[in-house]
Amino acid sequence: MCDRYSADDHSANLLERRWFAAGRAAAETQAECDALAQVLDLARAAWLGARTRLLQLEALREALGEELAQVDERERQWLSEPERRSAA
């Protein structure tokens, strides 16, 4: 009979250790999930900021391109007027 109790105690002890180990592993995994969620939040904020800057830069590039086209057009007009070229 003593051996049976000893075997039961051993099984119960092993089960309890596994239970605690599973709890620790779950807590560690929860901490990892929390850290990764924070990283995702930071990455999303950084992406949104970069996307905003990209849109601003594209708008600036478009405006500068239009201004450059106007300068080119004025230069073409100036070169196409013979009286202006001969007077200069």
Sole residue written with tokens 């196409």: 80
The per-residue pLDDT for range 17-72, each reduced to its tens digit, is 999 999 999 999 999 999 999 999 999 999 999 999 999 999 999 999 999 999 99
Banded pLDDT at 6 (limits 50, 70, 90): confident
Dist. CA 68–CA 88, nearest whole Å: 24
Query: Structure tokens of 4?
Result: 């049976």
DSSP H stretches of helix in 1-88: 2-80, 82-87
Q: Write down the pLDDT at residue 3.
A: 60
The pTM (predicted TM-score) of the whole model is 0.60
